[in-house]
Amino acid sequence: MSDLNQRSNPELKSLFEIAILPLKEKLQDYFLDVMGKLSSYFPIQYSALLIHDIKNDFLRLEATYGVEKKSHPSCCGLKDGVIGKAIDARKPMLIQNLSQEPFYEEMAKKKSIIEKIYPPLLCMPLISEERPIGIMTINSFINACEEFSSDFQFLMVLNNLLLPRIERYIKNESSKASIKSRSNSYFLDEILEEKLNDLLNKVDPYVEVKGKMSLLNDVVSLVEKILIQAALKKVDYVQTTASELLGINRNTLRKKVKDLKIKIP
């Protein structure tokens, strides 16, 4: 912490106030409280927190400060841009040009949003036991190159403080999702069992055998097609969001759309 001594009062005070912040039900609300405390001591205008979605292997946008969450993409590839490099190298990096950063390239086209972000952005990976938990982006405190090392050092201390709490949120969300999934699966099993029994009762097994029909494959394909069509319609045919909703990666969704001949407006 020796390099922090020149600015020790605001840094230590902000860290102390963040350390005693109570947890909130949602990570977004807790993140707003953390950034609110920081902005009392530093010119913090913008920050975003992305969490590693282990199941789908991408970074999911979890919380923002300064710019509404809905103005951002919902996710980011684990290997994309400077964000991906920082995750891979397990060390902080700097995003100089937002228009060349995959997560921010669409946002960079909107002047009203860029004016709130104040690039360059400090990009700080969250690492727990050599495993990436996520990443935080935040505007530089002083916006002077010689000061970036001090800012990164402070962020490393801040991240060590936040990491256990963020992990607690992730664990709680995983537990809730597991319970909901089991409940939904049981309900879905009942519906499918009823509908498939109705279907089998209408099928003549002798016709099925003689005609060498593939009932199982036909049913699976039909269910996939209906489910994908419903998911695409729900998210206005944005394939990235639909793939998240379905729990599959984007390339798999694109292949199924093509194979099942699903029409997209």
Q: How far is CA 213 from the centre of its chain?
A: 43
Query: What's the pLDDT tens digit per position in 58-95?
Result: 899 999 999 999 899 888 888 889 999 999 888 899 99
Of 145 and 32, more confident: 32
Nearest partner of 120 among 90, 89, 150, 99, judged by Cα = 99
Task: Sketch the domain layout of the chain as residue ranges.
Answer: 2-174, 203-259
Q: What are phi and psi of 7, to 5 degrees?
A: -125, 30
Task: Calculate mean pLDDT across residues 250-255.
Answer: 87
User: Which helix (H) or strand (E) is 205 found in, with range?
Assistant: helix 205-210
Give the pLDDT confidence score for residue 82 in this predicted structure: 93
pLDDT tens-digit profile of 176-191?
A: 555 455 555 556 666 6
What are 235-245's pLDDT values in tens digits?
Answer: 888 888 888 88
Q: What is the pLDDT of residue 55?
A: 77
Q: Count the residues in the chain.
A: 265
Name the residue type at position 37.
K
Which of 120, 154, 153 lies closest to 137 in space, CA to CA?
120
Architecture label for domain 203-259: Orthogonal Bundle (1.10)
**Do residues 121 and 148 touch, judged by C-beta distance below 8 A?**
no
> Which amino acid makes up residue 162?
L
pLDDT at residue 151 is higher than 70: yes
Condensed to tens digits (0 to 9), the pLDDT of residues 153-212 reads 888 889 888 888 888 888 876 665 554 555 555 566 666 667 666 666 665 555 555 555
Taking the C-alpha atoms of residue 46 and residue 64, their distance in angstroms, rounded to an integer, is 8
Exposed, middle or buried by CB within 10 Å (0-12, 13-18, 19+), for 229? middle
2-174: which CATH topology?
A: Beta-Lactamase (3.30.450)
